Amino acid sequence: SYVLTQPPSVSVAPGKTARITCGGDNIGRKSVHWYQQKPGQAPVQVIYSTTDRPSGISERFSGSNSGNTAALTISRVEAGDEADYYCQVWDSLIYHCFFGGGTKLTVL
């Protein structure tokens, strides 16, 4: 099993930058994916392969990964960014997926 650790909550003022971390053993060697989930809705992918944005996702969303910490950065935060965010990795040796516990982003 591979454990991914996220902070339960992050708060940020509108217009500022939010950074949501995802910790894991040598996660810097892995490809990390991120999802946004708003209340009552299905998750939406916002970053794949650590740094790539799916079509239609704002360039304000970016990803990074090094050592034991991956991060999702949201610049110029807007009220509409308030949601739960999940990191995820795929183990291609055993074909298993692992999710972080999720981080609730609050826009003050």
Partner 1 sequence: QVQLVESGGGVVQTGRSLRLSCAASGFTFAVSPMHWVRQAPGKGLEWVAFLSNDGTTDTYADSVKGRFTISRDNSRNTLYLQMNSLGADDTAIYYCARDREDGSFDFWGQGTLVTFSS
**Contacting residues toward partner 1, per CB under 8 A:** 1, 31, 33, 35, 37, 42-45, 48-49, 54, 84, 86, 88-92, 94-102
Nearer to partner 1, 13 or 97 (CB): 97
Q: 44-47 and 32-37 as β-strands: parallel, antiparallel, unpaired?
A: antiparallel
CB of 13 to partner 1, least distance (A): 26
CB 22 to partner 1: min, Å = 12
* Least distance CB 84 / partner 1 (angstroms): 8
- Measured from the CB atom, the residue of 60 and 99 that comes closer to partner 1 is 99
Question: Judged by CB, which is closer to partner 1: 79, or 94?
Answer: 94
Nearest partner of 103 among 70, 64, 58, 60, judged by Cα: 70
Q: Which of 78, 67, 80, 70 is nearest to 19 (CA)?
A: 70
